[in-house]
Structure 1
Amino acid sequence: MDRLRPADCLPVLPPRPRFAGARPVTPELIGALGIALLLAILAAGVPIGVGLLLVGLGGLAVMISPEAGLIKLGVVSFEVISKYELGVLPLFLLMAHICFAAGASRDFFDVAARFVGHRRGGLALASIGGCAGFGAISGSSLATVATISSVALPEMRKANYHPGFAAGALAAGGTLGSLIPPSGALIVFGIIAEQSIGKLFAASIVPGASQAVFYMVTIMILCAFNPALGPATARVPWGERIAALRHVVDIFLLILFVIGGLMIGWFTPTEAASVGVVAALLLLAFRGGFSLATIGEALRATLRTAGMIYIVIIGALVFASFVSVSGITEALSGAVTSLHASPIVAILAMTLALLLLGSFLDGVALMLLTTPIFLPIAEQLGYSPIWFGIFLVRTMEIGFVHPPLGLNIYVIQGLAKDLSLGTIFRGVIPFLVADFLHLALLIAFPVLTLWLPGLVAG
């Protein structure tokens, strides 16, 4: 992919004085004020793409000239819309929506429920497995939690599961959709940070699998101490288990072919997404769901989502240009270096900042706001940008279940209106503990993230 450098195509002009007789305003101060303004307008409910664009344009206009901001907007918009490599995003979205139509969500949960439903907390374990499987198709936390919850939550409540425990497991499991490839968040990070999407996908496999294991262990521990949280259901005969397994073989082979082919170098990311769309269409036809209405709805949903994401990407690149010109990242890097703190202390400080911001910003806003600021600092400290992308998305996921925003919590509450937000937030607390332990593991042992990308071609 050609590099989209934030400061490309900006005219080099001296900054114009703003206040006669006043002390000069430093570029770093303007950058800090711009970030504070962005946080304020996002908290006021302005869409993230619009907010990034307005602050980025305004900052460039103040620091250089209004013409520079407009030039940058035109260049970035043209590159984002016309760049071949960026076609990977809508193609993976289309593949996901076609798989939705093929009934993948219910199939993944049914298979997991038949295999482990007879154990204590078995349906909660099945919901984690269903979220992991469906996350490998959807690439979205919100889509995963909404789809799997619509199938799993009624079944768990029918089996007399504790409502808060059931909702907490689903809210946490839904976050797997943001990390397991093909992750939409990792695609956006790869575009913004100019990193290999194939290597980001490879790097996410071990963290995604271990995250699911942490959630499952949490469920087993809770149910061991309090079996009433998740009563066992009737054991399903092996014949029915094998029959259910056949329903997901085709989808599993689709995921394995697309993601595996991408990671071992058979396809570029765009080619992998294209192959995935064709294979998903064949799968839909094989399952008897192919129709003009189904394809039309998948295309409409893809265009709505992709259009929103493209606006966000354009706004993020313009904002990154402003941040780059202001020099605030260099100032922050210098401040971190001057403290002579160890890299792990700096990363822990970033983690606390991300968790604080994640308590009132949605995940995409958090990632696009902080990547231009924190990534250069992490690289200066010696951290791989691939590892940082996984760390950022993993921290972002916690925001999906972290009060007071916790978008996954509100999705579940929308599906089960009789459950209070307090009940769901209390149910998710044990899974938040598992999240923090898992994040600490990834920080302490970066090799868990980096060993697989080292084997990936390209």
Structure 2
Amino acid sequence: MISPEWAGFAGILVLLGLLGLGVPIGVGLALVGGVGLALLLSPEAALIKAGVIAFDTISRYELGVLPLFVLMAHLCFAAGASRDFFDAAARFVGHRRGGLAMASIGGCAGFGAISGSSLATVATITSVALPEMRKAGYAPSFATGALAAGGTLGSLIPPSGALIVFGIVAEQSIGKLFAAAIVPGLTQALFYIAMIAILCRLHPLLGPPAPRAPWRERWASLRSILDVALLILFVIGGLFIGWFTPTEAASVGCVAALLLCWRRGRLRWRAVATALETTLRTTGMIYIVVIGALLFATFISATGIAALLSNMVIQLDAGPTVAIVAMALALLLLGSFLDGLALMLLTTPIFLPIVDQLGLSPIWFGIFLVRTMEIGFIHPPLGLNVYVIQGIAGDIPLGTIFRGIVPFLLADFLHLALLIAVPALALWLPGVLA
């Protein structure tokens, strides 16, 4: 009979195999976790544990934040807020070299504060920004590389769906995770903008300047995003300063988004019904994933793998930085063939106990994990953002898009190194707001 630790390693390999065969992540996690517990304990114990986890998850008050923020995002989509942030940024900086690419980064950051999803952000902003950049004569690799990189901001800028899922699985404060993501999210956008400026300085033909917009159009574009910006500021700001709990903030956001639809003349029964239907479908999928992840985490805990790896790290006496760099390399390697959510839910039960043993903050680790996960959205061979862009711009080859991503990957690695070297980048704001 094999030891529990070897059973745990075998379970991880089986899970990777199932994901490679295309089994949905929630089903794979639940299957491996349930069968593993049945083998380690007994079928009866595994069945009881699965039932308890499912009931506790569905009945948790904090989990209500997820469908409410998803509904808020879809109501904002119905209000027609999808292209406003890019349009406003393009009016102000589009006349500079690389200005439309910089505007796409700003558009991704603004839209990410509505959607909470990398894939939704890159799909929406690409459909708006790519035609404008092509019309201005931008190099296809440069334009698509900027869009693919900017799209990753949707996973980090609050309200981030990835951080909500991490907070639930790791039992951490969602409000603190949102606060911790603000500075890293803004500095990530600044790193991308700096890279665009450097590239256009070295190669001006990559991003020719577009016609300068008159100030009348600039002020009009600002007015078009004012209501959405106030909604985001009220919801997220109210959460940070203690007016609302995360679930209350999401509820207020839904009501405010309904008012936004009404103010813009987009409040139609069909739009609201579509938003509710999409929210229910997305939430059901995520609930299955979360239940599967918690069942898998219980299995990993029962095998003792996390304790074994923690002891190995401590015995090596290599220091927290070396351990975190090793985790980052493992995450980047796994990110080559796993999507972001699968990567997070596979590694959190394994790495989080090691982080605790090293005396590092779980809040910081959540930001580090999502930041590393974001890089997986653009680096080959998976690079889901790349495939989304290629699906929208079918005439641009995948190789061209991946070539354009290389400079932005460099910016990502530098930013990740800064986050590791200076944990206060993520921990300063939660400490101020505590």
TM-score bracket for the superposition, by shorter chain length: over 0.9
Q: Which is further off, 267-276 or 336-345?
A: 336-345
> Match for residue 413 of structure 2?
436
Aligned pair partner of 1:200 in 177, 184, 190: 177
Instruction: Tell me if 1:406 matches 2:379.
Output: no
Do residues 269 (structure 1) and 246 (structure 2) align?
yes
Identify which of 148, 151, 164 aligns with 1:171: 148
1:105 touches 1:130 (CA, 8 Å); kept in 2? no
Q: Please, which of 222, 246, 252 is the counterpart of residue 223 of structure 2?
A: 246
Find the counterpart in structure 1 of residue 399 from structure 2.
422
Q: How far is 1:455 from its partner?
A: 2.1
1:9 corresponds in structure 2 to none
Residue 210 of structure 2 is matched in structure 1 by: 233
Over the residues paired in the alignment, what is the CA RMSD in angstroms? Answer: 0.6
1:136 aligns with 2:116: no
CA shift at 1:456, angstroms?
Answer: 2.4
The amino acid across from 2:371 in the alignment is R
Q: Counterpart of 2:126 in structure 1: which amino acid? A: S
1:279-294 superposed matches below 5 A? 279-294=256-271
Q: CA deviation at 1:338?
A: 1.3
Query: 2-side partners of 1:39 and 1:456: how far apart?
Result: 40
Native 8 Å contact 1:119 1:232 kept in 2: yes
DSSP 3-state at the match of 1:235: coil
Distance 1:372 1:263 in 2: 28
Question: Counterpart amino acid of 2:197?
Answer: M
Correspondences of 1:45-64 after superposition (within 5 Å): 45-64=22-41
Quick one: which amino acid aligns to residue 426 of structure 2? T
Paired residue type of 2:225: V
Find the counterpart in structure 2 of residue 360 from structure 1. 337
Please list the CA deviations of residues 324-378 of structure 1 after superposition, one character each: whole Å capped at 9, or x if unmatched: 0100000011111111111100000000000000000000000000000001101
Match in the other structure for 2:295:
318
With normalisation by structure 1, the TM-score equals 0.94
Where in structure 1 do 4 or more consecutive aligned residues deviate above 6 Å? none
Decide whether the 8 Å contact of 1:128 with 1:170 is kept in 2: yes
1:36-87 deviations in whole A, cap 9, x for unaligned?
Answer: 1111111111110000000000100010001111111111111111212110
Q: What residue identity is the alignment partner of 2:253?
A: G
Give the TM-score normalised by structure 2.
0.99
Q: Distance in 2 between matches of 1:265 and 1:70?
A: 40
Unaligned runs of 5+ in 2: none
CA distance in 2, matches of 1:25, 1:81: 34
Tell me which protein shows more helix as a share of its residues.
2
Give the Cα–Cα distance (whole angstroms) in 2 for the partners of residues 358 and 72 of structure 1: 30
3-state SS, counterpart of residue 82 of structure 2:
helix
2:82 is aligned to 105
| Letter of the 2:96 counterpart | R
* Structure 1 residue 239: Cα displacement: 1.5
Q: How many pairs align?
A: 434
2:303 maps to 1:330: no
Q: Distance in 1 between matches of 2:136 and 2:278?
A: 34
Distance in 2, matches of 1:374 and 1:271, equals: 31
| Counterpart Cα distance in 2 of 1:237 and 1:379 | 54
TM alignment of 1:27-42, pairs within 5 A: 27-42=4-19
CA distance in 2, matches of 1:187, 1:127: 25
Contact 1:38–1:51 under 8 Å retained in 2 = yes
CA distance in structure 1 between the partners assigned to 2:176 and 2:96 by the alignment: 37
Hey, what does 2:50 align to over in structure 1?
A: 73
Letter in 1 for 2:182: I
Q: Which moved more, 1:38-47 or 1:437-446?
A: 38-47
Instruction: Provide Cα deviations, 1:72-123, integer angstroms capped at 9, x if missing partner.
Output: 1111111111212110000000000011111212111100000000000010
Shift of 1:386: 0.1
User: What percent of counterpart residues are identical?
Assistant: 74
Q: Give secondary structure in 2 for the equivalent of 1:417.
A: coil
Aligned-partner Cα distance in 1 for 2:278–2:405: 30
Q: Which residue of 2 aligns with 1:339?
A: 316
